[in-house]
Chains A and B, each alone.
Chain A
Amino acid sequence: MSGPITIELAGEFSLRHRRIERLIGVLTPLWRLETATTVSVDLSRLVHMSPAALALFAATLRRVEERRLLASASTLILPRARGVRGYLERMNVITVGGGGFGAQLGQLSPTGSQPLARFRTDQDYPAVAERLTRFVAEQAITDEIARASLRIALDEIAENVVQHAGAPTGGFAVAQRWLKNHRLEIAVADLGMGILSSLRQNPRLGHIDSDVHAIRLALQPHVSATPQRNSGIGLFITRLLLEANGGLLFVRSGHGLAEAGARASEATLDLALPGTLIAIRVCTDRPLDIDSVYLQLDDEQRDDD
């Protein structure tokens, strides 16, 4: 057994580069565990975790638990701030993500809405996508096509996890809405093989030389690890949807990062995320319309001809 380790999540973890990178840095020791270890996860100074951070955190907790890497003396120190504890309770984080922390489970109990959900198969991800869409769209999105568009985006992201990630612990999806700011965020995380390894399974994509290159391609049409079965346009359509909305598509996998929409960027980063994190941020006071995106495809094909 390895020596004890402490993982401290203090402060804010939002969907911003530095904060996601800080989270990845904090979680890396858990991803490197190979033998049962006494782990102390200290959330006492936690201020906030966005859906992206929650999804990755939950995936990590579940992985170490299912690989039996938590020695019996492992502890989870709950947030000191009652509001933060309440938030984690409402988001159902500890029950879905943190099964290995014994007595601490009793201190945070799930409430009805269950915004954090886990999925593993073709059979369970559609229901997760439907439930999360319904939860996050309630009061935030009244337009039927916008709700449909959101559902489709989440469905496609989740399906990618099931079809391509090869993650034994499955995928973790979280949704949250901010009515006053007219914003919602949905994130899906998995600790699978990552986009680069996945795409390289397609012999025609063996030339991809970096994680950021792989992500860039994944956001283009007709790029798939399994082109016979999959069309490779789910992420592409999601990108177009968010760009038209003025929202954000955030993709982090391996050493790669790419964003599209309100904040377009690409980067190769020092820390490796062993899997994939995809988050979308939607402006709920602006159109979210998959119909318009589909009609745009006709224009793009005409331009290509």
Chain B
Amino acid sequence: MSNATTIRLGDRYGRVLTGRAAAETLRAELEGLLGDGVALTVDFAGVLAVSPSFADEVFAKLDPARVADGSVTFIGLRPGLASIARFVREARVEAVGAS
């Protein structure tokens, strides 16, 4: 990896992250950076809550292989956020398996 960057979602969006459209834009940005070989840390410090739609875009639709290989790391997640992250990720995995 040529470089690394941290994206602080609390600073960018505030304490409550909602809206699929906003999350789609964020995911496109993350995917672009990953495609450029940037190692990403997505920092949820200061984020109080995330909507299901936002969680789905960021945690579930982002290529799981990039999470598995450490290209993107999520930090600063409250227990509830970690829980919805797992929930949406596993749902997408199941859906892909069923199709």
Contacts and interface: CB of A to CB of B under 8 A. Distances in A.
Nearest to B18: A155
Chain A: interface secondary structure? Answer: helix
A295 interface: yes
Nearest to B86: A298
Interface string B57-95: 000100000000000000000111101101110111011
Given A148-B49, A156-B52, A230 B91 contact: no
Given A122-B19, A291-B78, A145 B49 contact: yes
Contact of A159 (B20, B80, B94): B20
Q: What size tier do the contact residues of chain A reach? A: 20 to 34
A227 interface: yes
B19 A155 contact: yes
B57 to A, nearest CB: 9
A291 B53 contact: no
A27 interface: no
Interface in A223-237: 227, 229-231, 233-234, 237
B45 interface: no
B79 A295 contact: yes
Contacts of A301: 86-87, 90
Interface string A211-250: 0000000000110000101110110010000000000000
Interface of B: 15-16, 18-22, 48-53, 56, 60, 78-81, 83-84, 86-88, 90-92, 94-95
Identify the 3 closest CB pairs spanning chains A and B, nearest first: A291-B80, A122-B21, A294-B80
26 contacts: A126-B22, A148-B15, A149-B49, A152-B49, A152-B50, A155-B51, A163-B20, A221-B91, A222-B91, A222-B95, A230-B20, A231-B56, A233-B52, A233-B91, A234-B52, A290-B49, A290-B80, A291-B49, A291-B78, A292-B80, A294-B81, A295-B79, A295-B80, A297-B84, A301-B87, A301-B90
